[in-house]
Amino acid sequence: MADRDYYEVLGVGRNATDDEIKKAYRKKANKYHPDRNQEKDAEAKFKEVNEANKILSDKEKRAAYDQYGHAAFQAGGMGRPSSAAGFGGDFGEDLGDIFQSFFGGGRSQSSSQRRRGSDLRYDLKLTLEEAVRGVTKEISFSTLKTCDGCHGSGARPGSSQPACPTCKGNGEVCIKQGFFTVQQTCPHCAGSGKITKDKCSKCGGKGQREKSKTLSVQVPAGVDTGDRIRLSGEGAGDGDLYVQVEVKSHPIFKRDGNDLYCDVPINFAAAALGGEIEVPTLEGRIKLKISAETQTNKSFRLRGKGVKSVRGSDKGDLFCRVVVETPVNLNEEQKQLLRSFSGTADEKNSPRSKSFLDGVKKFFDDLTR
C-alpha cells in the first residue's frame, strides 16, 4: 500500500508552522491512541500519525521529505526504516514510539521490499480556464531512482556483501524495554541486512541516485482543487507520482462543484425598467434578459453554462447574481433628474423601505409601552 502524504495524515498544509504541526500531532495521537480508541483501524492510524510527526517535526527530515517525499527515508536513502520496524529515530523518544513498535513489530522484510519505490506528490496550480477545458502541462521535479551501476545494492559490481553481524541479515534488531520487546531497524546496516564494504562509485553506496525529470501531464477537462492525477512508475524507485491539482481563484467566477457563480452589476434604471444586459461565460458573452423591478441580489440561472464533470457528461450551471449599483460622479443635470424622481416617488415605489420603516416604528412603540 502506498505511503500517505505526511501533511495529509496530520491534517495540516505544507506551509504549516512547527507549532501547528505539534498541535495537530497531539490532537491526532490522542484521538487514535490504542488505549483510548478501540476501533479496528485506530492502531494503524496511531502509527501513521507518529511517523508523520517524526519527519515533519524535524527540520532536516522535513526539508528532505518536501524535496523527495517518502523516498528520502527508505533504506539506502536517508535511513527510513521499514514499516514493520516502526517509523525511525532513536528508541524512547516519546511514548508513541513504544506503542508503535510494540503493535507494529514482528515480521522482517526482504531487502527488495525495504527498497521498494515510494510515491511522490507534485502540486500543480491551474487557472480556472485550464481546469475547465483541460490542458497539457510540463512539470519538472527531482526524484531518486535506483542506481544503474549497482542496481540498488549500493555495492561495487562484482564485490561481495556479507550479512550484517548485528541483525544476522534480517535488517531488524530486538530491544528490551521493560516488559516490551521492540523491533527496530538495524542501526548497523540501515535495514538492508548486508554490509557494504566496497561501495558503488556512482551512488556512494546509497543504492539510489538523484535524477531530474520533466514530464508532460495531460490534465482532463473538469478537474477541481483536490483532484489527483496518478502517473504510474514516475515516482521514486518504482513508485508513482501523484499530481495534486489546485485551481487558482478567478477574478470573475467562483466555482462550487460543477456550478459557476458571478456578480453582475447593473444600473438602477435597468433594474427598474428591465431590458437586456451582457454577462460573461467561459464560452464568451451572452445576452441576459432582466425583468422590470429586479431587486439587487436576484439570481439568474443559465443552464449548461457551468463546468463539465470530469467523471461524466453532466454539465453544471452558471448563476448570475444581479447587484444594483448606485451611480457616482453625477453632473448637475443628472442630479436634478434624480431629485425630480425622488419628489414624485411614494411608498408604492419602495415596498421594502415601507416594510422596514413599519417594522422600526413597531419596535420603538413596543419599547415605550
Pairing outcome for strands 208-219 and 180-185? unpaired
| Cα(315)–Cα(308) distance, integer angstroms | 4
Collect all residues with Cβ–Cβ distance below 8 Å to 239 and sequence separation of at least 6. 2, 70, 71, 116, 117, 118, 119, 120, 233
Structure-block grid coordinates of residue 327 = 451611480
3-state secondary structure of 318: strand
E strand or H helix that includes residue 287: strand 284-290
The strands making up 120-126's β-sheet, listed across from edge to edge, are 120-126, 241-247, 228-231
Task: Find out whether 174 is annotated in a ligand binding site.
Answer: no
CB distance 124 to 137 below 8 Å:
yes
Residue 148 CA: distances (Å) to CA of 16, 74, 305, 310: 37, 18, 52, 39
Say which DSSP state 84 is in: G
3-state secondary structure of 41: coil
E strand or H helix that includes residue 260: strand 259-267
| Cα(38)–Cα(233) distance, integer angstroms | 37
| Cβ count within 10 A of residue 200 | 23
Structure-block grid coordinates of residue 367 = 419599547
Task: Find out whether 186 is annotated in a ligand binding site.
Answer: yes
| Cα(88)–Cα(367) distance, integer angstroms | 70
Q: Which residues are annotated as a binding site?
A: 147, 150, 164, 167, 186, 189, 200, 203
Q: Which residues are annotated as a binding site for Zn(2+)?
A: 147, 150, 164, 167, 186, 189, 200, 203
